Amino acid sequence: MKLSSRAFGLMGGIMMCLSGLAATATATADDSSLPEPFQGHADIRTFDIYYDDLSYILRTTVFDSGLSDRTLARAKRPTINTRITRGNKSLNRLEGNRLVFFAFEDENLEAIQAIRTGLEATPDQIPMREWTKNQQLAFWLNLYNVTLIEALAHHYPETNLRDLLYGEDSLLDEKLLTVAGVPLSLNNIHQDILIPKWQDPLVMYGLFHGYVGSPNIRREAYTPENVYAALKENAREFINSNRGVRADDGKLKVSVLYALNAGLFPNWEQDVKAHITKYADRRTMRQMGQTSWVEASNEDFYIADLYEGIPHDLSISYPGAPMMENNPLLEYLNLTGSGRHLTPPHVAEFVNAITEKKSRQKATVTVDEVAEGTETESENK
């Protein structure tokens, strides 16, 4: 697969608005622990940062799985004429967006590397204290996600990301970036910049961790204009899914990511439940009412790859390979076989299940009240 040459021509950068306004830098008490280049923010936006190149890459490689209906996946069956089952066997494997990871090779990997290096250099052009907080937030989320995608592409097709991300030599602890002269790991961005500076649980939903149990990777980059709406949308999708929050045997089982983001929940159990309540739909609220305590045990570290780490099946001719004239994958890939479109069985299972789910959801008219309460997040642009 090769992305359009447009991917190589679009580079992240800054365009100065000719507004004549001077940036007013504001120091904030909650970012005093950050390296000096990342402290403070401007109250007025005087320039724009464009992420069109990143949005193009995401639209080309992200498969939108839609909202969860909390249906558990059936046990996998062997491929026709074999005794073999492939890919993720988790009961929650039908939830969450998917990325076409094998697309990031050769020229495409160079394209995403160029986007990442362009983002890294942006604070060298204008100091971050002259950025608004929304500009800073969108920047850090985009930089984190594009860097993680690039790093995982180098390890593809590794499928279980637990040890890679959280083992002794964690990829998240490697100093993969240098921003404003400061060497940074992805954990530095997450734990040492985003959590202390924003102190807002919504930021955790903007970080894609590369596996199924992660908050969604979106089909567009974050911008100052869309960042909070997008984070709320990700929060609702995640909280109202089995991989995010579910009741089991009197316990409210939440994703292990809530424990990894403990810095956002000082009174952990109380704060986690209060946060979930803000974005829970009726079904999730009913489940919460059946529980007495919170346990961070939901996990699925299988790579959130549309091809489930098995790209070599693309070149194999096998009995029973689905040939789909109206294949949703064609929006993302140009796969052909004898003039028709071949889809590996394990991918077809996922795509067909998502297509059927979306059809059911479209046909069913329901109204879910979302208990959000009073918004407290800072949304200064």
* Spans of all domains in the chain: 52-381
The answer to whether the predicted template modeling score (pTM) of the entire model surpasses 0.75 is: yes
Q: What is the pLDDT of residue 24?
A: 53
Q: How far apart are CA 137 and CA 224, in angstroms?
A: 8
How does pLDDT run across 73-94, given as a tens digit for each residue? 777 666 656 666 667 778 888 8
10 Å Cβ neighbour count for 151?
A: 18
CA distances from 272 to 193, 202, 236, 252, 277 (A): 21, 12, 14, 10, 9
Q: How far apart are the first and last CA of the chain?
A: 38
Residue predicted with more confidence, 357 or 332: 357
Segment of 7-16, 75-84, 102-111, 201-210 carrying the highest mean pLDDT = 201-210
The distance from CA 86 to its chain's CA centroid, rounded to whole angstroms, is 24
Q: How far apart are CA 351 and CA 329, in angstroms?
A: 8
Confidence check: pLDDT of 238 > 80 = yes
Q: Are 304 and 96 in contact (CB under 8 A)?
A: yes
Q: How far apart are CA 54 and CA 221, in angstroms?
A: 6
Q: What is the pLDDT of residue 8?
A: 35
Least confident of 3-12, 166-175, 190-199: 3-12
State the Cα angle at 306 between 335 and 160, rounded to 5°.
135
What mean pLDDT is predicted for residues 173-185? 98
What mean pLDDT is predicted for residues 337-343? 44
Q: Are 360 and 67 in contact (CB under 8 A)?
A: no
Q: How far apart are CA 123 and CA 130, in angstroms?
A: 10
Confidence check: pLDDT of 281 > 80 = yes
Q: How far apart are CA 99 and CA 52, in angstroms?
A: 18
Least confident of 184-193, 200-209, 215-224, 244-253: 244-253
Q: What is the pLDDT of residue 334?
A: 40
H helix and E strand count, the chain = 12, 11
**Cβ neighbours of residue 362 under 8 Å, at least 6 residues apart?**
none
Tokens at 220, concatenated: 């567009």
Residue predicted with more confidence, 323 or 66: 66
3-state secondary structure of 99: strand
Confidence check: pLDDT of 376 > 80 = no
- The model's confidence at residue 321, banded by pLDDT at 50, 70 and 90, is very low
**Cβ-count burial of 77 within 10 angstroms (0-12 exposed, 13-18 middle, 19+ buried)?**
exposed
Q: What is the pLDDT of residue 107?
A: 82
Q: How far apart are CA 305 and CA 347, in angstroms?
A: 10
What mean pLDDT is predicted for residues 139-143? 98
How does pLDDT run across 33-75, given as a tens digit for each residue? 999 999 999 999 999 999 999 999 999 899 999 999 888 877 7
Q: Are 361 and 67 in contact (CB under 8 A)?
A: yes
> DSSP letter at 62?
E
Q: What is the pLDDT of residue 346?
A: 76
**Cβ neighbours of residue 56 under 8 Å, at least 6 residues apart?**
4, 6, 7, 10
Q: What is the pLDDT of residue 168?
A: 92
